[in-house]
Amino acid sequence: MSIEVKNITKLYKDQKALNNVSFKVKDAEIVGFLGPNGAGKSTMMKILTTYIKADEGSASVNNFDVDTEKKEVQTSVGYLPEHNPLYTDLYVKEYLNFNANVYGTPKSRIEEVIELTGLKPEAHKKISQLSKGYRQRVGLANALLHNPDVLILDEPTTGLDPNQLIDIRNLIKSIGKEKTVFLSTHIMQEVEAMCDRVIIINKGEVVADKYLKDLRDGQEQIVIVEFDYRVEDAFILKLPKVKSVKNTYGFVYEITFSTKEDMRSHVFDFAHDNDLKILQLNQKNASLESLFQELTK
């Protein structure tokens, strides 16, 4: 088992940040730890990476106990904290070299992680010269230096622009093919884009633990479409299996269909038949969205 958490409670003075939390993460899963700000996500991650101690309960990473086998846990886990602390005056290679020395990692691994995280084109630069997306890659390269089995990533996509977001999501997904990834986020779409499974936490308690595949098997989906012109709701309601339609802003419409069949091609045909152009077309998981809202409101 990659991560095992049993009845963890953590107090800051008299405030309970985590209350009797239990879950397990199997090998080579990408699990999203989803919850609103202040839910306890960072606290859980700091316990799993041995930075802080829980008040009650036990936890293990790679079958090593976070209290009694700290060193083994630290060599098993790569951690990207929320505010990725980088020495911005250093060059990328200097920074990785410095940390490789700390870990006692062979120098050849530096080139490997640069390759793995797509850092090569920027590897000769100073960290201060890098975009936020490339700085995240440096953070990921650093977390991967000692070739850990488990990666713990605290809000890894926060603050990225849309292109950087897609690149970093893809990178995390490809890393997740070989390693266990446990990542936190307060954004539901991040879970949909990257994860096999979601654990939802609210006010320090786990309120749901589900495989995305099971949620996707639900009977509803939302298609978000932007046309180049206004369309009457009544017109859109003529599409097959439409449950409801909402004009969210401008010419953007959120259409809920009561079927699990992918309805995007129907929306595309609808636009084509009515001489409309599509400026964006996305599918959202209605079940995950409603589950998250219901459980965290």
**Which stretch, 40-48, 55-63, 93-101, 263-271, contacts ligand ADP (CB under 6 A)?**
40-48
**Of 143 and 245, which has the nearer Cβ to ligand ADP?**
143
* Residue 157 binding ligand ADP, by CB under 6 A: no
| 30-68 b/e (C-beta count within 10 Å ≥ 16 → b) | bbbbbbeeebbbbbbbbbbbbeeebeebebbbbebebee
**Which stretch, 30-38, 114-122, 126-134, 163-171, contacts ligand ADP (CB under 6 A)?**
30-38
**Of 12 and 235, which has the nearer Cβ to ligand ADP?**
12
- Closest distance between ligand ADP and the C-beta of residue 21, in Å? 11
Here the contacts of 111-119 (C-beta below 8 Å, separation 24 or greater) are: 113/141, 113/142, 113/144, 113/145, 114/141, 116/141, 116/144, 116/175, 117/141, 117/144, 117/171, 118/167, 118/171, 119/92
- Closest distance between ligand ADP and the C-beta of residue 151, in Å? 17
With CA atoms as reference, report the closest residue to 54 among 63, 41, 44.
44
* Residue 159 binding ligand ADP, by CB under 6 A: no
* Contact characters 3-22, ligand ADP, x per CB under 6 A: ---------x----x-----
**Of 38 and 240, which has the nearer Cβ to ligand ADP?**
38
Q: How far apart are CA 176 and CA 180, in angstroms?
A: 6
**Which stretch, 36-44, 83-91, 104-112, 171-179, contacts ligand ADP (CB under 6 A)?**
36-44
Contacts with ligand ADP by CB under 6 A lie at 12, 17, 35, 37-43
